[in-house]
Amino acid sequence: MRLVERLLPFAVAALAIGAGYALSAGLDGYFVYLGMSAIVGRISLLGLGVVTGSAGMISLCQLTFGAVGAWVVSALNAAEAPGGFLVWLVLGGLAAGLVGVLVGLPALRLRGINLAVVTLGLAAAADLTLVQLQFPGVASGISVERPDAFSDDRSYFLLAVVVLVGCCLGVYFLRRGRWGSGWQAVAFSERGTAAAGASVRTSKLTAFAVSATLGGISGGLLTGQVGLAFPASFTAIQSLALYVLAIMSGAHLIDMAILGAVLWVGVPELLKRWGVPQDWGFVVFGLLGIQALTSGGNLGTAVRRLWYRRSGAPAKLELADATTTVEPVVPGPPVLVVRGLGVRFGEVTALSSVDIEVPEHGVLGVIGPNGAGKSTLVDAISGFLADAEGSVELDGRPLTGSPSKRARAGLRRTFQQDRVPPGLRVEAYLRFVARRRLSAAEIAGALDFFGCPDARTPLSEVDVGARRLVEVVGHLLARPRVLLLDEPAAGLPHSEHVAFGERLRQVPARFGVSVLLIEHDLDLVRSVCDTITVLDFGRVLASGPQAEVLADPAVLKAYMGETELL
Ligand code: ADP
Ligand code: MG
Q: How far is the CA of 490 from the centre of ligand 2 (A)?
A: 11
Closest atom, ligand 1, to C-alpha of 487 = 2
CA distance 500 to 525: 11
Summarised one tens digit per residue, pLDDT across range 437-456 is: 999 999 999 999 999 999 99
Closest atom, ligand 1, to C-alpha of 370 = 4
SS3 337: strand
Q: How far is the CA of 367 from the centre of ligand 1 (A)?
A: 15
Residues found in the chain:
566
Residue 348 near ligand 1, beta carbon < 6 Å: yes
- Residue 88: the pLDDT is 97
Residue 323 near ligand 1, beta carbon < 6 Å: no
What's the pTM? 0.90
Summarised one tens digit per residue, pLDDT across range 248-288 is: 887 778 877 788 888 888 999 999 999 998 888 888 888 88
Q: What phi and psi, each to the nearest 5 degrees, are found at residue 534?
A: -105, 125
Q: How far is the CA of 344 from the centre of ligand 2 (A)?
A: 16
- Residue 561: the pLDDT is 53
- Residue 480: the pLDDT is 97
Summarised one tens digit per residue, pLDDT across range 326-361 is: 776 778 899 999 999 999 999 999 999 999 999 999
What's the CATH number for 321-560?
3.40.50.300
Q: What phi and psi, each to the nearest 5 degrees, are found at residue 340?
A: 60, 40
Domain map of the chain by residue range?
Answer: 2-238, 321-560
Q: How far is the CA of 373 from the centre of ligand 1 (A)?
A: 6
Beta strands 514-518 and 482-486 are: parallel
Q: Which pLDDT band holds residue 565 (cuts at 50, 70, 90)?
A: very low
Residue 370 near ligand 1, beta carbon < 6 Å: yes
Q: Give me the percent of the chain exceeding a pLDDT of 90.
A: 72
- Residue 210: the pLDDT is 98
Q: How far is the CA of 378 from the centre of ligand 1 (A)?
A: 11
DSSP one-letter string for 472-503: HHHHHHT--SEEEEESTTTTS-GGGHHHHHHH
Residue 550 near ligand 1, beta carbon < 6 Å: no
Summarised one tens digit per residue, pLDDT across range 27-65 is: 998 999 999 999 999 999 999 999 998 999 999 999 999
> Across residues 482-509, what is the average pLDDT?
91
Report DSSP state, residue 233: G
> Across residues 540-551, what is the average pLDDT?
92
pLDDT at 552 exceeding the cut of 70: yes
CA distance 535 to 549: 12
Residue 369 near ligand 1, beta carbon < 6 Å: no
Residues with CB under 5 A from ligand 2 (ion): 374-375, 416
* DSSP collapsed to 3 states, 301-312: HHHHHHHCCCCC
- Residue 1: the pLDDT is 56
- Ligand having the closest approach to the CA of 414: 2
Q: Which pLDDT band holds residue 295 (cuts at 50, 70, 90)?
A: confident
Q: How far is the CA of 126 from the centre of ligand 2 (A)?
A: 47
Residue 373 near ligand 1, beta carbon < 6 Å: yes
Residue 352 near ligand 1, beta carbon < 6 Å: no
Summarised one tens digit per residue, pLDDT across range 188-222 is: 999 999 999 999 999 999 999 999 999 999 999 99
Which one of 347, 370, 376 would you pick to mutate in the ligand 1 pocket, going by the greatest count of ligand atoms within 8 A of its CB?
376
Q: Which of 328, 356, 326 is nearest to 482 (CA)?
A: 356
Nearest-CA residue for atom 10 of ligand 1: 373
> Across residues 537-553, what is the average pLDDT?
92
Identify which of 474-478, 492-496, 504-508, 517-521 has the greatest average pLDDT. 474-478
Q: How far is the CA of 350 from the centre of ligand 1 (A)?
A: 6
SS3 335: strand
- Ligand having the closest approach to the CA of 350: 1
Q: How far is the CA of 495 from the centre of ligand 2 (A)?
A: 22
Taking all residues of the chain, what is their mean pLDDT, rounded to a whole number?
90
Q: Which of 422, 5, 351 is nearest to 173 (CA)?
A: 5
CA distance 168 to 174: 10
Q: How far is CA 424 from CA 103, 296, 398, in A?
A: 26, 19, 34
Which one of 191, 345, 485 would you pick to mutate in the ligand 1 pocket, going by the greatest count of ligand atoms within 8 A of its CB?
345
Q: How many CB atoms lie within 10 A of CB 18?
A: 11
- Residue 566: the pLDDT is 45
Q: How many CB atoms lie within 10 A of CB 294?
A: 8
pLDDT at 419 exceeding the cut of 60: yes
Q: How far is CA 405 from CA 217, 356, 391, in A?
A: 36, 21, 16
> Across residues 154-163, what is the average pLDDT?
96
Closest atom, ligand 1, to C-alpha of 346 = 25
Q: How far is the CA of 557 from the centre of ligand 1 (A)?
A: 22
Q: How many CB atoms lie within 10 A of CB 422?
A: 15
Cα 529 to its chain centre, rounded Å, is 35
